[in-house]
Amino acid sequence: MKVDILHGTAALISKEFQLAPEELGNPDEKTILRARVAHVIQHFIDNNLEGLLNILYIMDVDENLIKAALMDDSEEPVNLRIADIVIEREMQKVMSRIKYKQDPIDDVDKW
């Protein structure tokens, strides 16, 4: 995975959760980002579940995936499952923006 996609994903997640940039930082590995996002999500689960669900809605995370993660009886903690869903969604947004990025128009006549 390209580091710039990972950094862009971390930046988007920081923005959506209104975190200071240093809270998620610029992780070079997905596992590091996953751990940091899971920590943030656990804080929301413990202190403001409704706020977490609102943020996930704003991020356009699939509600069915979140419901499945909350209801799943697997041994993996729910905060890690939700972190994976959030990271995947925000990574899709970053890759889409890269794919459809338009170069700025330098010359007014080209308009």
Q: Say what the pTM is.
A: 0.86
Domain that holds residue 43: 3-95
49-95 pLDDT, tens digit per residue, is 999 999 999 999 999 999 999 898 889 999 999 999 999 999 999 99
Side-chain half-sphere exposure of 7, counting CA atoms within 13 A: 6
Report d(CA 56, CA 75) in Å as an integer: 23
Give the pLDDT score at 28. 87
Q: How many structural domains does the chain have?
A: 1
In a domain, 101, yes or no: no
Q: Is the dihedral of CA 12, 17, 18, 23 positive or negative?
A: negative
Give the pLDDT score at 53. 95
More confident residue, 46 or 106: 46
Report d(CA 111, CA 95) in Å as an integer: 27
In a domain, 40, yes or no: yes
In a domain, 104, yes or no: no
| Residue 105 scores a pLDDT above 80 | no
| Residue 1 scores a pLDDT above 70 | no
Give the pLDDT score at 74. 85
Give the pLDDT score at 100. 86
2-38 pLDDT, tens digit per residue, is 878 999 999 999 999 999 988 998 888 999 999 999 9
Cβ atoms within 10 Å of 84's Cβ, excluding its own: 17
Cβ atoms within 10 Å of 53's Cβ, excluding its own: 15
Report d(CA 84, CA 88) in Å as an integer: 6
Q: Report whether 40 contacts 70 (CB < 8 A).
A: no
Report d(CA 63, CA 25) in Å as an integer: 27
Residues, the chain: 111
Give the pLDDT score at 3. 79
